[in-house]
Chain A
Amino acid sequence: MKNTTFLKRRLLLIGAAVLLLTAAACVGGPTEATWGQISLIGDPANILFAYNDRIVLIDPADGSPVELRDSNGNIRVDDQGNPRVWQVTGASNTPVLFYTAPIAVEDGTMLTASYNQKLFEVDLAAARITNPEGRSVPGHVVAVPLATEEFVYVPLSEGDLTAYSLPELDEVWTLETTHGVWSEPLLVDEVLYVTSLDHHLYAVDPETGDERWTLDLGGAIASTPVYSDGYLYVGSFGRKIFKISTGGEIVAQYDTNDWVWNSPVLVDGVLYAADLGGYVYALEDNGTSFTPVWQPRKVADRAIRALPLVIDNAIIVGSRDRNAYWINRATGEEIFHREMVGEILANPVLLEPSESLNISEPIVIVSTMSNEELLVAFSVGEGQRLWRYGR
């Protein structure tokens, strides 16, 4: 009798464990949210926003989803007769995760790269993926690919940059790096510049992938170089900002307080940058050195990953501390800040006034990681909150 009880208890325990394990196996790990990317598309422009598992088109006048229309301008409806909005999601058996917005490859077709190692073609008019299975790529995609007439260069976060032919998407060549490419490549004067987390800046032939030169910058690089007047500017996790000649020589460098994730912005000979320690920099390029226009200023409590947006008198930066800051360009002083619901990691976008868009003043679109405030539009001058888009 006692033995039967023991046996039952044991079976119960084992059964419970098996059930728990099976449930855990079925649920799988949590899906990480992405910081997404905002871009502008069309004329008049709409906001194309790729985030998490979808791509949406948003009206910049009021933040409403754009309705999907047919060639006659009539609103399309779904099976239940409800009006359809412009939205692209992955097929149920092919999960997608977007860090980057789609890029135009030919009229009416866009190419989008999913973090889940797939390239998809998007029919812009029908708002649907035309190759639901996707074209597999040998790595995750965190940075936006670069498309030319002949090729699309896809940066892979695990190691390589691969060039595919267009429109066939056949692999043409691969640039091997040891730690992955987390930034969009830059094409200037028939040279493709590629930065890598393996600390190197690569200059390669865009047709063949042959290396012209490489330069070790002593720290991981996750941003695209900025090109101006024969020089490249780039920041690194080695806490430095570099000025590099197109021949592969370091011309000037400046020490930062923390890792520089995003690209600097060059305006009127001054380089504006931010780091993951929350510091903002304004550096005057003196040829072979940088001179701070004002002392580096700790603006935010947490990381600034997003690209600084430089406007007339101000620099707008978004931080992981959930604030968007307006900084005085001349002094570095904070003018004001606007608190938001989620962390700000994606690059903000500036929209100029437009009659066709019914926008009377410049607005800045800021994205957050919170579904409650995926996009927020602020007036550039006063920082007035104009609209928000959320789920």
Chain B
Amino acid sequence: MDFILNPFVTLLTFLYSVFANNMLLAIVVFTIIVRLLTYPLTAQQMRSSQAMQKLQPELKKLQEKHKGDREKMSQEQMRLYREYGINPLGGCLPLLIQFPIFISLYQAIIHSLAATPMQLLDLSGRLLIPGLDSNIPLKNTMLGLNLTQPPVISGFDLSSIVGIVLVVLVVATTWLQFKVTMPAQPPAEDGKPNQAQSMTQSMGTIMPLMYGFFALSFSIGISVYFIASNIVGILQYALMGRANFGNIFGRGGGAKAPGSAVAATSSTPANGAVPTKIQGKASKPRAANGKGKPTERASKTK
């Protein structure tokens, strides 16, 4: 991981010196830069997951049709994926590539703040630009808070109030990001939430609370990263036209298609119809035989 971590530590230290030794600002800008650099991967992941989402009704029909015949079911699934030019692993790969990057981003903040003797020792040799050594150790206190320590909430003093605000912001932005980036799922035919919706709603409650707990346990610097990362994530979705703000007010389910930009290009409602344009590349559904002739089903959707 050093080949990712060391440039990140160098970049963070550089930003720290550029922003007049302001570690908070350095972490925020650092997070934005890394999120922008990984944007193509994020976009690919979003496209892929939304395409998969669109195919759900079709997949569900297949499941019902081939109940009990797994082999036939998987053959038909693959055929459907080929037909619409979808790689079923297309959403996982960008996620897998991003994973070490975001772990390194998190590690870079911990290493740069160097809260313990071993961390300070580990910091040596990670700075790839000569002259940045003069910034070491990075100033790790801001607004009376030690960025290397978890928030201490012990009363109504300034540091406690700032600590509470940070934790609340972490919870709120995590919740917001979850809601905004969650594709809407149509309810079951009986109008009740389906199983996937139910699980999603549970996650929407647990995840923000979990991050709130992390904010209380981890260093304040990491909380700043959580907040910045969540906000950038929301903005990225919004700028792509894929943010589902209706979800915030509980109007997401079935009211608006997941990835409205996709829906707009295909002029297809999200209530189970199959899109004709799922990914940028796959403007036309391809035939199962690969010769370019649309299948009957695909043609019908036009």
Contact = CB atoms under 8 A, between A and B. Distances in A.
Interface residues of A, number: 42
B202 A13 contact: yes
Contact of B199 (A9, A32, A157, A158): A9
A238 interface: yes
Contacts of B210: 17, 21
A13 B198 CA distance: 11
B136 A345 contact: no
A276 interface: yes
B125 A6 contact: no
Contact of B124 (A3, A9, A199, A259): A259
Interface of B: 116-118, 120-121, 124-125, 133-134, 136-137, 139, 146, 192-193, 195, 198-199, 201-203, 205-206, 209-210, 213, 217
A258 interface: yes
Given A3-B192, A6-B198, A197-B137, A345 B206 contact: no
Given A10-B198, A25-B217, A238-B133, A276 B124 contact: yes
Interface of A: 2-3, 6, 9-10, 13-14, 17, 21, 24-25, 29, 32-35, 99, 142, 157-158, 178-180, 182, 197, 199, 218-220, 222, 237-239, 258-259, 261, 276-277, 303, 305, 320, 345
B223 to A, nearest CB: 15
Given A197-B137, A303-B124, A6 B209 contact: no
A157 B121 CA distance: 14
A interface: dominant SS? loop
A322 to B, nearest CB: 15
B213 A21 contact: yes
B116 A17 contact: no
Given A21-B210, A21-B213, A32-B116, A303 B121 contact: yes
Given A13-B206, A276-B124, A237 B133 contact: yes
A14 B205 contact: yes
A75 B114 CA distance: 45
B133 A2 contact: no
A277 B125 contact: yes
A35 B117 CA distance: 9
B143 to A, nearest CB: 16
B202 A219 contact: no
B159 to A, nearest CB: 15
Contacts of B137: 179-180, 197, 220
Nearest to A278: B125
A354 B144 CA distance: 55
A218 B134 contact: yes
Contacts of B213: 21, 24-25
22 contacts: A9-B195, A9-B199, A10-B201, A13-B202, A14-B205, A17-B210, A24-B213, A24-B217, A25-B213, A32-B117, A32-B118, A99-B117, A142-B117, A258-B125, A259-B133, A259-B136, A276-B121, A276-B125, A277-B125, A303-B121, A303-B124, A305-B121
